Structure 1
Amino acid sequence: MTAPSVGVVIATRGRPELLRSAVRAALAQDYDGEIEVIVVFDQVPIDALDDIAVPGHRRFLRTIHNERTPGLAGGRNTGILATSAELVAFCDDDDEWLPTKLRRQGEEWEKNPDAVLVSVGITILTEGAEHVRLPPVHTVFADLLESRITEIHPSTFLLRRSSLLGEVGLVDEQLPFSYGEDYDLLLRAARTGPILGVPEPLVVIRWNRVSFFSDRWQGIADGLTYILAKYPEFASTAIGSARLEGQIAFAYAALGDRPTARHWARRTIRHDRSQLRGWAALAISARLVPASFLVAAVNRRGRGL
């Protein structure tokens, strides 16, 4: 049987060299089906990427402009709507797939056809270290309420295009700064079926570069507040609520908004006294430690806020 066609959507802005590595890795997959790579340029001029050789008669490369809401969500949706492939995969413009990534996902999906999304493991590159993170083999909605499960990284997502145009829906373009769009999409996907994970590190995630969100604390606070309000199911889990509230508290503390940070920190601790982000927000608000120090410390261990 012919393997399903895959549309690889790479939304990009201002990373020309890393982008080329991401595109070449997507084109070099040992997958039997047709692969179309769509690079969506967001808020920057289109680069035709003429210097990239496109191997094989089944593989194509298109470069287009983001025609929807500026930002990552609009860029990804532009790519989803532009492809006619059966499956859609995301890859960030600074990440890179190993050659067997799509094939292994397809093999596992054949064994578990009820899955709504398939991910793979990741290797996070930080300054001077590598950290392997493997996803659970089976994830449901309740799991994602309690934990973001960051091992399920957006550069590993593989979904049916029909799901994105139907029951799951497109990436939410109303999310402030597009922050948390991957988590929101996971939650919506898990409402419709299980998420499958291939426990092999088949995507390289580069954290040894500057993130677009590294200092955009207001966007982080607004995005997570939006998600917390969007899903009333968070009220059913103190641990899940505290996790988001702690991240919001931390962001406001980093902004220097001490009253708001303390408000969210109190909510965090009330729900879960073991949630360290709430205590960290209080420490930052009391000027005992800078937010940048704590962020750098967790990033070195391959973890995020």
Structure 2
Amino acid sequence: MIKLIASDMDGTLVSNNHDISQGNVEAIKKAQGMGVEFIITTGRSYEDAHPQVSSAGIECNYLVMNGSELRNAQGEIIQSLYLENAIVEQIVEELNRQGLYVEVYTTGGSFSLSDVETCKWAVATKINNFHSEISIEQAYEKAEEHFLYKAIRRVDSIKEVFENDYQVGKIISFSNNREKIAKLRESLSKKYPVNATGSFAINLEITNPLADKGEAIKHYANNRGIYMDEIMTIGDSYNDLGMLSESFGYTIAMGNAIEEVKEQAKYVTDTNDADGVGKAIEQFL
């Protein structure tokens, strides 16, 4: 019997058009009505994740920043695993030296430490990743008008974040140089005490070494007396691999998932553009 469903957002619950389908919402609410708990497990910050989930009519708890924070539906922090300031400073400096976009998710919101041009290229990279029919050059021309660019809050130094006593939950970077991103995932986790992963081939996500979606779900379930074989997990990318391990009862890969995820998961559902999450819930409940 399934007692807990844990779902990723981007590429999973959320479509490529950045919405949560009615089919997914109805299946989630049906499961909740049957007494099954639903929780969001995402690389996003709470401030980024909650408005979209809430506006879709879903009320639930959140494991955000790849497990760096557990928040309830009201946004209160229940549990946290942040990065050490000294480590943040070193990694930010290294990413800046390589000319990469740098953004930090903190207890005071999200901030970018990159210049305007780098921010625009990062937004263009994100747009191109979701909409391959738009070239990265075309996306760059429209970047300043895009909501992703308008949401960026710039700071000149990471010290501005520390001076406000904000804790850093995640460092992220974007680049269309996929080989560079892949190498950084490997090298940074060896060089520093961090967990380096990503939601897509174009991005890098750095968190506390104990901040992993799989471990976070296990801890969450254990505190509620839920056994591993009573948990369904759904994801599509690198940072979902931890929550798709064999120890969970029902591990679901999206139809649009990367091959590593499909190989590891026990089942494959439809894509994020075809109610894949809702269909998986309907199938197994």
User: TM-score, normalised to structure 2's length?
Assistant: 0.28
Which of structures 1 and 2 has the bigger CA Rg?
1
